[in-house]
Amino acid sequence: MRDNYYPALKHISKIANSFFGFRKICNSIAKSTTKTVHGDACCISLLNPQKEYLITVGAYGLSDLYLRKGPLDARKSLPEILDGKIVFIADATKDERVQHPEMAEAQGISSILGIPILRKGEVIGEIRIYTREPEEFSEADKSFLLSVADICAILLEKGELYLLEKDYKTSKRQINPQVAQLPTNAPRPAFAHPSEEEFAKLLDFYSIEWLYEPRSFPLHWEKDEVAEMFTPDFYLPELDLYVELTTLRQSLITEKNRKVRHLKELYPQINIKLLNKNDYIHLLAKYGYWPLGETKVEGIDRVLYSHTQIQRRVRVLAKRISRDYAGKKPVLVGILKGVTCFMSDLMQHLSLPITLDFMAISYYTSDGQVVKITKDLDSSITGQDVLMVEDIVDTGMTLNYVLKHLSAHKPASLRICTLLDKRARRLIDIPLDYVGFEISDEFVVGYGLDYRGEYRNLSFIGILHPELIEKDERVHHLS
């Protein structure tokens, strides 16, 4: 039982009753609450009146990216809270009630405790406590959090008015973008122009989160009243970028240019781009989403994972591995040659001391030879923590053979990390500890993976044109 609840409650009620701004109060309560229950982060959210989504009004310990992930769908995300229940999620990266598990993983969030905020018996918001290590909360912690929720209930009622009136009508200050965001799964908005709908589809195709007209920026004031506003068409939270689309009509472009210039002067921290169709295709290419040029590689049917998507996933895996091996010095073992790109990127993102070793094995041929090791490890792994890094696990036969060999050297521990998992084709079931992407039964190349020794140098992972693969070829034993 912690003995700090009373001083914390005293502090929180004092802040709640202070003359600070609404957001500062909420952030401060989030901080105090986190520390009191020994959590790592906290988020206080307000439920919209239709009980569809949650808007963050105060937070502590969460990165900007996490906070900009957009409002949470109230029904999808921990729905029991809507029934006034306390919810505990032991593993946020795996629980399907967590709406952005990849974000939770990237933040290193392990468990989440959700507390409803009730006003006169009705749920109007929630408090979430996040921890990096799996944490059990005591009944006393929960009772403390319910008291904080009661204080928040009074605040949030006021807060709703604040958000509606103060921010939009008279304030010339920055409005936090998340305040005005639409729920991510809201019905598709009525787009003002077909080009906007097309752009939204393109973003969906590349799984880029977007918000349509999420925020209006006052540009001119007359006697403290807003006389002119500018509402960019899109906001892309992942890239922290506002996008205004233009048609090719010169008169409109000139007018929009003027507005965008003015916006940048008034709000220098805002990242905004004015785009026509050609521009936005090139913009996506720059961020690695658009397969411009990529699909032009002869023999490639389509791009499965762009370079950017791979990099993002590798960083998430590296973060998990760094956390799991904290205080240790693992040996990373790769099998040549397919793993080279993945190994190179993965190890650069590990915040651990590591050593590196490689093995090579003979390829399958139809001449009756059995598999053999053509290059063994350079150093002994006995008593070491070994992380076996693979490009792809297909039937599991290669991995099974290599694991037997490695286990015979009696390492202290042996785990497996693979970038791709073609689970549908598995013959030997081996538990995988870290998986980048699970893929369907298609032959992929690029980012180290080859077909007949080629395509390894592509920066993305693409699906090989099926016609290229001769029917009777045993393609899964090529590298």
Residues 6+ apart with CB under 8 A from 282: 290, 292
- Residue 357 CB, shortest distance to ligand IMP, in Å, is 17
- Residue 391 CB, shortest distance to ligand IMP, in Å, is 5
Binders in 65-124 for ligand IMP, by CB under 6 A: none
Residues touching ligand IMP: how many (CB under 6 A)? 19
- Residue 431 CB, shortest distance to ligand IMP, in Å, is 14
Interface with ligand IMP, residue 202, by CB under 6 A: no
For helices 139-161 and 5-16, the axis angle rounded to 10 degrees is 0
19 φψ region: left (φ > 0), alpha (ψ -120 to 50), beta (else) = alpha
Interface with ligand IMP, residue 397, by CB under 6 A: yes
Q: Based on CB atoms, which residue is closest to ligand IMP, 69 or 422? A: 422
Sign of dihedral through CA atoms 452, 458, 461, 465?
A: negative
Q: Based on CB atoms, which residue is closest to ligand IMP, 127 or 406? A: 406
The closest of 92, 98, 75 to 39, measured between CA atoms, is: 92
CB 459 within 8 A of CB 285: no
Interface with ligand IMP, residue 448, by CB under 6 A: no
Q: Verify whether residue 224 is a known catalytic residue.
A: no
Interface with ligand IMP, residue 334, by CB under 6 A: no
Q: Which stretch binds ligand IMP (CB under 6 A): 116-124, 242-250, 314-322, 444-452?
A: 444-452
Q: What does the chain come to in residues?
A: 479
Q: Which stretch binds ligand IMP (CB under 6 A): 40-48, 184-192, 227-235, 437-445?
A: 437-445
Interface with ligand IMP, residue 392, by CB under 6 A: yes
Rounded to whole angstroms, the Cα distance separating 227 from 216 reads 12
Q: Are strands 234-236 and 211-212 parallel, antiparallel or unpaired?
A: antiparallel
Interface with ligand IMP, residue 36, by CB under 6 A: no
Tokens 């403390």, residue located: 144
Binders in 404-423 for ligand IMP, by CB under 6 A: 422
- Residue 375 CB, shortest distance to ligand IMP, in Å, is 15
Rounded to whole angstroms, the Cα distance separating 303 from 212 reads 27
- Residue 292 CB, shortest distance to ligand IMP, in Å, is 24
Burial 19-28 (b: 16+ CB within 10 A, else e): eeebbebbbb
Rounded to whole angstroms, the Cα distance separating 310 from 57 reads 33
Q: Judged by CB under 6 A, which of 395, 409, 435, 468 binds ligand IMP?
A: 395
Sign of dihedral through CA atoms 122, 128, 134, 136?
A: negative
- Residue 11 CB, shortest distance to ligand IMP, in Å, is 57
Q: Based on CB atoms, which residue is closest to ligand IMP, 326 or 427? A: 427
Q: Based on CB atoms, which residue is closest to ligand IMP, 184 or 479? A: 479
Alpha carbons within 13 angstroms on the beta-carbon side of residue 402 total 27
Rounded to whole angstroms, the Cα distance separating 197 from 191 reads 6
Interface with ligand IMP, residue 443, by CB under 6 A: yes
Residues in the site for ligand IMP, rule: CB under 6 A? Answer: 338, 391-399, 422, 443-445, 449, 476-479
Active site residues: 394
